[in-house]
Structures are given as C-alpha cells and as structure tokens.
Amino acid sequence: DVGYTPERALEQLQRIQHHRVRLNGGEPVTGVSTLSTEQHEVLHALGIEKLAAPEQLALL
C-alpha cells in the first residue's frame, strides 16, 4: 500500500548498490549505498527491515 507500481518498485530497488572498497592494501570494507526514502518504503512494504550487508556506506 505504498502507492508504487511493481515496475516503479523494481526501478527503485535496482538502484541499490553493494560496494566493496579496499584502501591502501587494508582489509576490504563492504556496504550498501545510502538508501533513499522511496527505497526504504519499498523494502518496508516487502517486510525487509534491514539489508544483508553489514554496513551502509555514504559513498553515493
């Protein structure tokens, strides 16, 4: 009941990116790009409260 068509919901979810970054030969850091309000709404409507990635990176 968030008011998105299935196509719009999929469009929003396709924009979520998983990142893996290694700086100066250190251990890799993984995470998910910052989620938009729409992406949070779609995930909530699907019953997904937290993504599987351990961190959320504000890279984009």
The answer to whether the Cα torsion of 38, 34, 56, 30 is positive or negative is positive
pLDDT score of 29 = 85
Count CB-CB contacts under 10 A for residue 53: 15
pLDDT in tens, 27-55: 888 888 889 999 999 999 999 887 665 55
Q: What is the pTM of this model?
A: 0.68
For 39, list phi and psi in degrees, rounded to 5. -65, -40
